[in-house]
A = this chain, B = another copy of it.
Amino acid sequence: MKSIYMDHHATTPMDKEVLDAMMPYLTDNFGNPSSNTHEYGHIARRAVEEARKKMADFIGAKSADEIIFTSGATEADNLALKGIAYNQKEKKGQIITIQTEHKAILDTAKRLQREGYETAFAKIDEHGIVDLDHLRQLINPDTVLISIQAANSEIGTIQPVAEIGKIARDFNIPFHTDAVQALGRHDIHVERDNIDMLSISGHKIYGPKGIGALYVKKGIRLVSLIDGGGHERGMRSGTLNVPGIVGLGKAAEIAQRDMKTETERLLKLRNKLATGIESRIEQVKLNGHPTKRLPNNLNYSFAFVEGESLILACRGVALSSGSACTSASLQSSYVLKAINVPESLAHCSIRFGLGKCNTEEHIDYLLDLLEEKVKKLREMSPLYDLAREGIDIDKLNWTKHSH
């Protein structure tokens, strides 16, 4: 039997309804939507346009044309940043972002920096929330884009997207947000929130892997990264991934339909887990904002316990210490570093990513497991003994065992 999956920030299983919607397009309806001389093509084209409408509706876009399908959110992020930058190549403009973005933003910004563009990082507080005053100060005549995520994949911190959008609009600067983690878990509406571009991932909202989208508000001009045939309004060429697109559309429809109830359910589970951890295990520290965080996210540092060791010890539950996209490296989380979590604690962190797979029983099971394994691992830690005698644990703002 497989372990209990609790790593929904890394990826999510596809909804049965999503797969059902895809099946005809994985079998009989296999046409290329660009084939305009026969019904195989027409059927595929109609399915794509229907999915486009569903996604537009879900995020509050004015028009379905504003949805550009991509191979995923990483491509969408690249298209947003490079597309804007390359559109004013001579300007070598400035992009404003924050240090806790996904690597798809940070690595892309780095690439642009190497090419002569500028990146400025708006300050964030100890919970990871952007400093709006500093953001405003960073804006200068060279600023071509503000790109700030809607929510963080490690610590779940939710950014004040509407306020960022307002600032961007005031200065007439395009605003992009990577909404991969927030979508379906937090209310987002591109028109209301003044969002000009928004990155979407299929596999993070119980849809398929290999598909994503970039919302591009009418009027925003991007240089395409992938040329050849002029698909997707010239912004993204290549044969459309029809089953993937149909699946993404269905996932958007389901997220829109179920978000309220599922979010409430997750919040209950999440709070049960948080309360359990904080009451049953001493010297744990919550990373990220106590309330402005995704309803399915927790991130705790368990002092004196290596995160990786604890994850291994809790083998019955599939957990991770941070972003899957950086897990190949053995460095501790750059996100925790950016919010000033000391190295010693950053190494002790675990990310809990709840999702549709999870039930109350899972939380009970995990709490028992965590309590037992943390205790065992700490017993083997010489540092822990020392700490019990001398170190001022309050300075680290850990929770204290209350009984």
Contact = CB atoms under 8 A, between A and B. Distances in A.
B239 A35 contact: no
A241 B31 CA distance: 21
Interface stretch (A10-18, A133-141, A266-274): A10-18
A11 B30 contact: yes
Contact of A75 (B71, B73, B74): B71
Given A237-B103, A239-B325, A229 B74 contact: yes
A225 B237 CA distance: 14
Contacts of A27: 13-14, 19
Given A10-B32, A229-B325, A40 B210 contact: no
Interface string A51-93: 0000000000000000000111111011000000000000000
B74 A71 contact: no
A257 interface: no
Nearest to A357: B30
B38 A108 contact: no
A278 to B, nearest CB: 23
Contacts of A31: 10-11
A3 interface: yes
A31 B318 CA distance: 10
A200 B39 CA distance: 26
A217 interface: no
B239 A209 contact: yes
B238 A74 contact: yes
Interface residues of A, number: 75
Contact of A327 (B35, B226, B324): B35
A103 B234 CA distance: 12
A244 B2 contact: no
Contacts of A324: 32, 34-36, 41, 239
Interface in A232-274: 237-244
A209 B26 CA distance: 9
Nearest to A18: B26
A209 B241 contact: yes
A386 interface: no
A326 B72 CA distance: 24
A36 B228 contact: no
Interface in A191-221: 201, 203, 208-211
A128 to B, nearest CB: 19
Contact of A243 (B41, B103, B210): B210
Contact of A12 (B30, B318, B321, B326): B30
Given A26-B19, A38-B318, A237 B7 contact: no
A14 B103 CA distance: 34
A104 interface: yes
A239 B72 contact: yes
A223 B262 CA distance: 42
A185 to B, nearest CB: 17
A348 to B, nearest CB: 14
A320 interface: yes
A401 interface: no
23 contacts: A2-B39, A7-B35, A7-B40, A10-B34, A11-B31, A11-B239, A19-B27, A32-B324, A37-B321, A71-B72, A72-B238, A72-B239, A72-B241, A74-B239, A77-B228, A102-B228, A104-B228, A107-B227, A110-B227, A209-B239, A225-B226, A228-B325, A239-B325
Q: Which 6 A-B pairs have the closest CB atoms?
A: A210-B241, A104-B228, A71-B71, A74-B238, A38-B318, A229-B325
